[in-house]
Amino acid sequence: MKKAILVLEDGTTISGKGFGAVGEAYGELVFNTSMTGYVESLTDPSYAGQILMSTYPLVGNYGVCNEDYESEGIKASGFVVREVCKTPNNWRSQMDLDTFMKENGIQGIEGVDTRKLTKKIREYGTMKSRIVVYLGDEPDISSLIQKTVLQPGISEKNVVDLVSTKKYKRFEGGCGPEIVVIDCGIKRSIIKQLKERKANVLLVPYDSDFEEILYAGPDAVLISNGPGDPSTLKHTILTVKELAGKVPLFGICLGHQIIALALGATTYKLKFGHRGANHPVVDCETGRVFITSQNHGFAVNKESIEGTGLEITMINPNDGTVEGLRHRGLNIHSVQYHPEAGPGPHDTHEFFDNMLNMIKRSVSR
């Protein structure tokens, strides 16, 4: 039987059962409150550089189906759960969670009091962490703690480079507009939503120059979701700054933060982030409340927006964080949440309808 140890940078150590691959995983420990959608979450590129913990106690009961992948494989560094279901029961299931983790070379630990650990993170904030899955003797704990303390934090490395495409990729949608997507770690569901609306998508690397993007002749540019600290993406921020006013711009999650930075606002790190499928968002104009899927550890500083030309269109009623922005004079719109869901409710799919309508109006001028 595989054993496992979870180590936090504050010296906390938790023993449990190992699943997935034997070896070590390290990253920032974050929690997700979704009751389902573990396949989508594990394969979401926005979790690169992070060890994911599920607050829901039983994980894996409906198995794994590759139709639910949000990328080509697992992007989270590791997985922490209370209990793993060994015998999934679902007609779509192609393998169990343990096999899925093993095939992707990812470490997991079960038998953890995830409720207690989540409360700890909510009190003290996200922490650097490490999972060790082993078969023989227990590893040296003091050495593991030291390595965990010294490992780079999420703001000390460029994790987007690990998940962004390295070459141009085209996805045909039909007779709709041509949209260039700056890939900071895009989810497949976003491309799917655009294609369903007949848009043609050209996916380009996150470090593409603005001249290259404009040369492609897009009707609009979308900056995608992705992992890490947006302020580390200096080249992408500069590219978006140069694109502003030349072509309609849209942003989702990390893309929303990059747009804010490009136009002169600032961002900051949240204590423990927003990760789950039940986060409320209020439309500032209509007062309508949407239930959204979210996955981010950084947010736009509300006080820094003044003087940028941006205005807030949506807020989070729980903590007042900025959930939507638009520019008063330019065709620029962004949202902090994930309108494509995957997993989560479909309340905000209309973001893509609105986006396509705005692009069509812009093209017809």
Q: Which residue out of 24, 28, 70, 340 is catalytically annotated? A: 340
The Cα-based distances of 273 to 29, 126, 139, 237 in angstroms read 11, 8, 31, 22
Specify whether 346 is catalytic: no
Three-state DSSP class for residue 341: coil
Torsion angle in degrees (nearest 10) through CA of 285, 251, 170, 220: 60
By the 8 A CB rule, do 265 and 302 touch? no
Helix (H) or strand (E) holding 289: strand 289-300
The Cα-based distances of 90 to 64, 82, 96, 361 in angstroms read 9, 21, 10, 45
Beta bridge pairs of residue 5: 15, 132
Helices (H), the chain: 38-42, 97-103, 114-124, 141-150, 160-163, 188-196, 210-215, 234-243, 254-262, 350-364
By the 8 A CB rule, do 73 and 188 touch? no
Specify whether 110 is catalytic: no
| Closest alpha carbon to 292 in 255, 331, 346 | 346
Q: Which residue out of 28, 184, 253, 296 is catalytically annotated? A: 253
Residues contacting residue 220 through CB under 8 Å, at least 6 positions apart = 177, 179, 180, 247, 248, 249, 250, 355, 358, 359, 362
d(CA 355, CA 60): 35
Strands 78-80 and 50-54: parallel
Residues contacting residue 13 through CB under 8 Å, at least 6 positions apart = 5, 6, 7, 141, 144, 145
d(CA 227, CA 99): 25
How far is the first Cα of the chain from the last one, in angstroms, to the nearest whole number? 66
By the 8 A CB rule, do 252 and 325 touch? no
Specify whether 175 is catalytic: no
Catalytic residues: 253, 338, 340
